[in-house]
Amino acid sequence: MGIINDNKESAARVRLWRHTIGITNRALSTSGPDPLGTGLSATEEEKVGTGVAIVWGDCHFILTAKHVLDEANVSDLSFFVGQTGDLKTQRASEVTMQDAVVPVPLNDPEAVIHRCDWEDLAVLTITPDAFGPMLEFFDIGGSSIDPQEGETVAGVAYPVSNSVILDGGRIGSVIQRTVVLSPTPFGGAVLPSATGKYLGKFEPDRHYLIPYEPAKEGKHPRGISGAALWVESDEERIVWAPRFKFAGICTVCYGDGGLIEQIVRASVVREFLLEAFGSPEK
């Protein structure tokens, strides 16, 4: 029975990974000291976030948090697309170059960024085959939910805290290093709305909160902004397969190390998409 449950959990992680994409934004590059302590200055070439592949009627796009795309044009963005095989759950110390997902630019002249004026949400419209067959678009038109207090939600994201810096050698006076990101599952039970009483941006009719459990290990959630949360579908089928309902988008963390994560409700996401693209009905 344990093997069956393990296989179900593995299949569920892979299913969520297929809808997930990592995002890097070069428009937000910053300078500072070398993170490995050489004393030399270094440039962080890009900021990292997460997105989810969504289809809404005839529109295909990457949905994410608006601040992930701050100051960006499409040409500033690169993406980490899922690979074949299982989604590993290794610790950062166990990540190697074999686990690396190379970021790729978007070669789509029709791509356009749409930013929400009233919520931390944005979409990047793309063609359905822009990232190949490993990225699967989820139709939230009829499969979304606002989870209730205590209900468990789950997601996959690209947190920087679960990354390692690999030495790529020196070219002249420039030290080459690669940051390897590992897609990581996370989730938790929806907290009571009263938990957000003193949180500045929290509005219970628009958001809900979950604990960010990796914070107990000192891991900050930087990089999971824009990740989708999901609730497993209770639809009964003769043959089991992982099925989920879209349950919202991560946008804000609160507390030292991100003890609480704020999620924009699925109904609010649908409101934005309806405003931007009209009804999904064909």
Residue 243: pLDDT above 80? no
Assigned domain for 282 exists = no
Higher pLDDT pick, 23 / 97: 23
Residue 262: strand, helix, or coil? strand
CB atoms within 10 A of CB 163: 20
* Mean pLDDT, rounded, for 207-216: 87
Per mean pLDDT, which of 55-59, 156-160, 213-217 is the most reliable?
A: 55-59
What number of residues does the chain have?
Answer: 282
Measure the CA–CA gap between 35 and 78, rounded to whole angstroms: 22
Q: Residue 160 sits in which domain range?
A: 2-277
- pLDDT at position 166: 55
Assigned domain for 168 exists = yes
- Work out the pLDDT band at 240, boundaries 50, 70, 90: very low
Assigned domain for 230 exists = yes
Assigned domain for 146 exists = yes
Q: How far is CA 181 from CA 23, 116, 227, in A?
A: 11, 28, 15
- Work out the pLDDT band at 95, boundaries 50, 70, 90: very low
Higher pLDDT pick, 132 / 12: 132
Per mean pLDDT, which of 113-122, 142-151, 214-223, 240-249 is the most reliable?
A: 113-122
Total structural domains in the chain? Answer: 1
Assigned domain for 19 exists = yes
Assigned domain for 273 exists = yes
* CATH code for the domain of 165: 2.40.10
Copy the structure tokens of residue 120: 């931390």
Residue 68: strand, helix, or coil? helix
- In one-letter notation, the amino acid at residue 190 is V
- Work out the pLDDT band at 113, boundaries 50, 70, 90: very high
- Work out the pLDDT band at 121, boundaries 50, 70, 90: very high
pLDDT digits (tens, 9 = 90+) for 34-51: 555 555 555 555 578 999
Tell me 144's DSSP state.
Answer: B
Least Cα distance to 232 among 224, 223, 240 occurs for 240
Copy the structure tokens of residue 213: 């459990």
- pLDDT at position 169: 53
Higher pLDDT pick, 272 / 37: 272
Q: How far is CA 160 from CA 89, 108, 203, 265, 278, in A?
A: 14, 27, 27, 24, 35
CB atoms within 10 A of CB 29: 13
Residue 119: pLDDT above 90? yes
Least Cα distance to 49 among 79, 72, 71 occurs for 79
Assigned domain for 132 exists = yes
Residue 222: strand, helix, or coil? coil
pLDDT digits (tens, 9 = 90+) for 146-192: 999 999 999 998 887 766 555 555 555 555 555 566 778 889 999 99
Per mean pLDDT, which of 102-106, 157-161, 221-225, 255-259 is the most reliable?
A: 221-225
Backbone angles phi, psi at 47, to 5 degrees: -100, 155
Higher pLDDT pick, 100 / 213: 213
How does the average pLDDT of the chain come out, rounded? 79
Tell me 92's DSSP state.
Answer: G
> pTM for the complete prediction?
0.83
